[in-house]
Amino acid sequence: MLKFTIKKKLEGKLGRVGTLKTSHGIIETPAFVTVGTKATVKALTPEQVKDLGSQVVLANTYHLYLQPGDEILKKAGGLNKFMNWNGPTMTDSGGFQVFSLGAAFGDNVSKIASGESTKVRCRAENGGTNSSCALAKIDEDGVIFRSHIDGSEHRFTPEKSIQIQHNIGADMIFAFDECTSPTAGYKYQKEAMNRTHRWAKRSLDEHKKLNKEKKWVSGAHKNEIALFGIVQGGRFEDLRRESAKVISEMDFDGFGIGGSFSKEDMYTAVGWVNEILPEEKPRHLLGIGEPSDLFGGIENGVDLFDCVAPTRMARNGTIYTLDGKINILNAKFKEDFEPIEKECGCYTCQNYTKAYLSHLFRAKEMQAGTLATIHNLYFINKLVADIRQSILDENFEEFKEKFLSKYYRKADSQ
């Protein structure tokens, strides 16, 4: 069963350093959760992911349900065995994917593939607009959606989401929620929040039922799954606080903070929520991974983050450095025979130059994505580890100011 222990608190802030014990190992928090959407971290092997400092991997419920199917993962012995990852694992609820296919369809706020060919065809059939092209429709009971792969119709309810996640078998899973657009007005944010609360209760009831059934199976209780409830409410303080209060009063093992955020929200909305959520339980901020966001989230009490940005940007040639992000396709790197960063300890920087990496991207070689991903994932994992150490060493503010002033001061010149 999940066990969270706080080792040190950040003086004058909500931040803390701790350990999170799961069935597949201990996570030193705060920690960056590496996204392995389809039971794989793109371009890397599980051994490489571990060597880069990743402690925990998050897979995507929506995608694994569609392909290869959660029943196959169950037959394979669960996510860990299926993908050969022996560390802690998480799955999301599928709620964000519902949002992406529904209210946000075609609005460039989706984190998943939006089915471009389906959109183009639908627009052509509907006068060139997205209004009739959404692939998901939400009602009180759940959501009906069409696969972005083949257009087939499916239905998720809170109970179905939990059943799928139990079949996938991650250590930590999330209650089914409705993630609204950041542009949605107060009235709809409140409506969606209340629906999320009702779905949270149904998710929790189904989760407890399934965990109880597993205890009748020899040894199954040893890998009991932990469920996190999700706080919603958009950027409205009263809704965020209300949602945090309602969700915290339910018997969840931990909590997720959902919704789309801007940088200032790391210091406001996240703080509103974590002032209310129980201190003794872990908190996960969904879909956040920019360096400044990590600092803001951590000092406001976040323990875990997940985001596709480091790996996705790497595959497109955008590389993290201590002086800001660079685009390796820029002409100036074609004859730059220095590593990405001289002091970096990653495999890529120890063995290859920017000129070689630029060549690989220009030649569209598969190894380009691998070498860039190695560096970016190492960079973000090390950054969070350094932030954690700065809290232990009681020099968080100094480390934060030094890192961010350098990272963002030079970023525009890259």
List CB contacts of 317: < 8 A, sequence separation 6 or more. Answer: 327, 328, 329, 361, 368, 372
8 Å CB contact between 246 and 197: yes
- Domain identity same for 360 and 258: no
Split at pLDDT 50, 70, 90, the class of 142 is very high
Mean pLDDT of the chain: 89
pLDDT at 412 over 60: no
What is the average per-residue pLDDT within 217-233? 76
Work out the pLDDT band at 135, boundaries 50, 70, 90. Answer: confident
> Looking at residue 165, which CATH number applies to its domain?
3.20.20.105
Query: Is residue 221 domain-resident?
Result: yes
Statement to judge: residues 289 and 346 lie in one domain = no
306 part of the active site: yes
Q: Which of 177, 253, 265, 306 is catalytic?
A: 306
User: Which tens digit of pLDDT belongs to each residue from 342-357?
Assistant: 999 999 999 999 999 9
Cβ count within 10 A of residue 222: 10
Q: Are strands 283-286 and 25-29 parallel, antiparallel or unpaired?
A: unpaired
3-state secondary structure (DSSP) of residue 103: coil
Predicted local distance difference test score (pLDDT) of residue 133: 55
Domain count, the chain: 2
Q: Does 378 lie in the same domain as 281?
A: no
Alpha carbons within 13 A on the beta-carbon side of 330: 12
Alpha-carbon distance 229 to 175, whole Å? 5
351 and 293 assigned to the same domain: no
pLDDT above 90 coverage of the chain, percent: 76
128 vs 239, which has greater pLDDT? 239
Structural domain of 40: 3-97+155-307
Tell me, yes or no, whether 150 lies in a domain. Answer: no
Could you say which of 92, 265, 293, 303 is catalytic?
92
Whole-number pLDDT of residue 220: 42
The pLDDT assigned to 408 comes to 83
In a domain? residue 378: yes
Instruction: Report whether pLDDT(105) > 60.
Output: no
* Residue finishing a domain among 250, 282, 307: 307
- Structural element, H or E, at residue 375: helix 366-392
What is residue 140's predicted lDDT score, i.e. its pLDDT? Answer: 95
Tell me the mean pLDDT in the region 357-386: 98
Tell me, yes or no, whether 206 lies in a domain.
yes
Query: Where do we find the tokens 């929506």?
Result: 62
Residue 351 DSSP one-character state:
H
> Is residue 12 domain-shared with residue 56, that is, in the same domain?
yes
> Which pLDDT tens digit goes with each residue over 250-284?
999 999 999 766 677 878 999 999 999 999 999 99
Instruction: Reply yes or no on whether 150 is catalytic.
Output: no
CA–CA separation, 362 and 412 (whole Å): 23
pLDDT band at 130 (very low <50, low <70, confident <90, very high): very low
Q: Which two tokens stand for residue 400?
A: 């934060």
Nearest CA among 44, 34, 46 for reference residue 367 = 44
Q: Determine the average pLDDT of the residues in 325-332.
A: 98
Q: For residues 165 and 197, state if they share a domain.
A: yes
pLDDT score at 60: 95
